Structure formats: structure tokens, C-alpha cells
Amino acid sequence: MARPSSDEEAVKAIAADTKMPLETVSRMYAETWAEYSEGARITDYMPVLVAKRVRSALKQAARDTAH
């Protein structure tokens, strides 16, 4: 299932917001997309859901390492 080109913009924005390497965010985004799209019938909101999950995971990881 092909993802829209806006995904590249989302990955760049997440990487900038979380100060994480683009490659790391891109890999997480692709993995999360694959997880969410498996068996999905409706994919209209996938980019939003995937971006939210990746951003949340990265922020949580940053909090965990700060303590």
C-alpha cells in the first residue's frame, strides 16, 4: 500500500520537533505504518495516526532517558 508524499513532510517535521535523526524517524514511521495498515480497511486517517504514534513514542523515549 503506497503512502502519500506528505509522509516525507511529516517525517521531517517529527524529526525536527523531537531532535531525532531523520533516518530513525523514517524507520519508525514506516514500521508504524506497516503495523497500522495490516488489515486496515479505511486508511484515510493513517498519516495522522501514524505521525501521532511516532511522535508520542519518541517523546516518551526522550522522557525515559532524561530520568
At 8-58, the pLDDT tens digits run: 999 999 999 999 999 999 999 999 999 999 999 998 999 999 999 999 999
What confidence score (pLDDT) does residue 4 get? Answer: 47
Residue 3 has pLDDT above 70, yes or no: no
Asked whether residue 1 is domain-assigned, the answer is no
pLDDT for 2 beyond 70: no
Number of structural domains in the chain: 1
Looking at the domain assignment, is residue 61 inside a domain?
yes
Per-residue pLDDT at 56: 96
For the entire predicted model, the pTM comes to 0.85
Q: Which domain holds residue 23?
A: 6-66
Report residue 25 as a C-alpha cell: 524517524
Looking at residue 2, the DSSP 8-state letter turns out to be P
